[in-house]
Amino acid sequence: MTKPLHPNLNVDALFLGPKSENAVFFREMMDYAVNEHMYWRSGFHPEDSASVTSVDRYEHNYRETLYRTEGILNQLSAKLKNTSIPFFSPRYLGHISSDTLMVSNLAYVMAMMYNPNNCSYEASPTTTELELESGLDLCRMFGYNPQQSWGHITSGGTVANYEGLWVARNLKTLPFAAFQHPKAKDLVNHKSPNQLKNMPTAEILDLISELQQRGIFEEIRDMTCRGTGVKPEILGKLLVPQSKHYSWMKAADIFGIGQENIIPLPVNENYQIDIAQMRKITFELIEQGESILAMIAVVGTTEVGAIDRIDEVIALRKECEERYGESFYLHVDAAYAGYACAMLLDEQGEFIEYDDLASCHRSIGIMPENISWPKPEVYKSFRALKEADSITVDPHKVGFIQYAAGAICMKDKRILDLISSHAAYVFEENADKTTPAARNRGILGSSIMEGSKSGATAAALWAAHRLLPLNISGYGKVIAAGIVTAQRLLDKLTNLPPIAVGKHQFEVHIMPSPDFHMINFTFKEVGNENLNSHNALNKRLYELCSYSTGRAYANDFLTSSTILNYKEYGDTPRHYAEQCGFSRSEWEKVRRIYVLRAAVMTYCLRDEEHFNEFWEQLQSIFVKKLNQLVDEEEKKARLELGLDAPLMG
């Protein structure tokens, strides 16, 4: 990975800024990008005559067309300014969105004008290689061997998750296809029927290599589900934590797995996979002779930012292999927190030992003395990522790249042979493959779920990785800013005294001990024992702090929300409801709790003085919003004969 020319990166110089502080530089570079492209066009075969003359440009309909173009762009600008969400501001603490890197925005615009299509090397010789290089950057960050692994950009984490399940599905059926083929049966004849169902991933990949050496791989591949269709009794069960992203339910539908074959893994009070329950469910499935299609673990859940114990999942898989001779495919959905791995790597890309991590963070000034990250178990999870078979990560989240930029990394690129397809006009099957560039020509389009895709995103990601290496002194600095701000905000909210609004008092309750920089919290009226009223209160607060009540640009604080309910999480949210002061019987009656949700990604508040100024403003905003809410409720109460009902009752 390319090292930065100047390791002492200034984080404030990376973004346009909440007040467009870097506007002069950004405009200069934008002009440069546009001018370079125009020179490129005009310099292509200068002997060719221009298709439009000066006389043509003065024609009435020509100028009218330009005026109409200008008018449409003016309309679009007005629409965007009127209703877009100001993610760039520290006043926005909601979804997993923040300001985006200037270098990525500029690189995107620069490449976009060349209109590369990364489905075909012929249409994108430059950006295809940038995408593959960026994919390997991510593979290295997770600890994969860059000579054996492979990664690429998707439109988002959803498609990356689909691709992970796609390869797991096709992988699962290969041993059965080999067993049915007379020229390959000897390779798996020593396996019991149950062991055939749950062969270790590494063994199946070695089987691919052996089948290719025998010259029968493609013939047998056509006998897998790729050729014969899905057989649920072979694919088996998909183990997914209760904290899953919604994409997994859609994936089960799309790939013919069936949602009835999804087994939810219970989560603990911290919304991580419950290790004891995971072990129990896995052992029971194996002992019952069930096939396990794959296990999914999450590094950064979308609702609370929880990080599953990847090391424990790896230990379980190893135990299954030793105890039963059976295993399972492991895909890690690290869409949200995957980039945080950079905070744990030195400038050579090696993991810093946990005992040295805090001093390393402080020595380069990214963490103050009173704040440290991560917890020991979170650190172990990141170190174990290299053992996962595939990993989803979203550059458009904590990579600070503009949409749409997801990615998937695969530990062993041999797995691509199970999903690759060929179209001669796209993939140049007969082209020369003697150089690395030539060998790369078909690898993207033939081995991904999407078809045509923008090469501009690849340019944006490549440029970001060149400016900000995936290590402690690159991306680590930017990500640390959000973590520091989140920890300070968590401390302030935890110690915030009740807020008095007339005869009402409101206290803040925080979901404890986040694994990353997602803060979930609620406001509770002191003395209220009605969970439905509590939920209505926080739902209304969300509406007052979002686009729901009008133009977001005019709001002084923006956040997001979610609902933690029994249907998705079982009784896990009960612990937080009880922490808020609601009885178990009240939880049993309602079984859902509405929470405010803030992904604290801003880099602007890492300085303590700036944070304290923001906190003073935020307290005033809370008072203002609660006053507005109380006024609304009192007006309703007066309309209802002046009844002194509980707030939001």
CB-based burial label for 367 (10 Å; 0-12, 13-18, 19+): buried
- Residue from 478, 496, 440, 418 nearest 178 by CA: 418
**Pair of tokens at residue 224:** 């897998």
| Rounded CA separation 139/390 (Å) | 10
Strands 499-501 and 406-410: unpaired
The set of long-range contacts for 181-188, using a CB threshold of 8 Å and a minimum separation of 24, is: 181/216, 181/219, 181/220, 181/223, 183/214, 183/216, 184/211, 184/214, 184/216, 184/220, 187/211
Write out the DSSP string of 413-475.
GGGGGGT----HHHH-TTS--SSHHHHTTTHHHHSSS-SS-BHHHHHHHHHHHHHS-SSTTTH
Within 10 A of 521 (CB to CB), how many other CB atoms are there?
A: 20
- Residue 542 and residue 627: Cα distance in Å, rounded? 14
Closest CA to 285 of 314, 248, 242, 328: 328
The sheet that has 504-510: what strands, in order across it? 92-93, 558-565, 592-599, 518-525, 504-510, 499-501
Q: What is the SS3 assignment for 488?
A: helix
Active site residue 425: yes
Beta-carbon neighbour count of residue 5 at 10 Å? 8
Q: Is 306 exposed, middle or buried (0-12, 13-18, 19+ CB in 10 A)?
A: buried
Q: Are the C-beta atoms of residues 409 and 157 closer than 8 Å to each other?
A: no
Beta-bridged to residue 264, according to DSSP, are 240
Q: Which of 58, 67, 403, 425 is catalytic?
A: 425
Amino acid sitting at position 561:
S
Closest to 132 in 3D by CA, of 142, 143, 146: 146
Catalytic residues: 425
